[in-house]
Amino acid sequence: MFDYHNLFSEALASRVDDDLVTREITYIAGPMTGYPEFNYPAFAAAAIELRALGHRVISPAELHPADPNVAWDWYLRRDLTELVKCSHIYMLNGWVNSKGAALEYHVASTLGMKITHQPVRIAP
């Protein structure tokens, strides 16, 4: 007879730790494809700013180096696994024109994460 109890126990052991989700962690989302340096400078600046305000941050730009030879979906799959561990998402300017960031926004919204948009800065 199949042991469903062991299967259920293994599934529980491999699930996302609820403590990870309850800790306040901010994920930075924004456009990368088609931007100089894959927009890493904007991600870095946002991470510095948010950390200075006391936020714990996950930035895709810090997870892996940009490589134009790596498939787009590889990055997105890896980034989504980090996003679901967060409680907040910070949307960089230009995200609405990014397929990946739009998907990250949808996931964050569906999961009930707090969503903050980067203020639009007007040059003097």
**For residue 51, what pLDDT is reported?**
97
Closest alpha carbon to 117 in 96, 97, 100, 103: 96
CATH for 108 = 3.40.50.450
Structural domain count, the chain: 1
Domain presence at residue 92: yes
Q: Three-class SS string for 57-104?
A: EECHHHHCCCCCCCCHHHHHHHHHHHHCCCCEEEECCCHHHCHHHHHH
Position 19 scores a pLDDT of 53
Where the chain has pLDDT below 70, the residues are: 1-22
Q: Is residue 95 one of the residues assigned to a domain?
A: yes
Q: Which domain holds residue 89?
A: 17-117
For the entire predicted model, the pTM comes to 0.81
> Alpha-carbon distance 91 to 111, whole Å?
15
At 15-48, the pLDDT tens digits run: 445 555 557 999 999 999 999 999 999 999 999 9
In a domain, 1, yes or no: no
The pLDDT score that the predictor gives to residue 10 is: 45
| 123 part of a folded domain | no
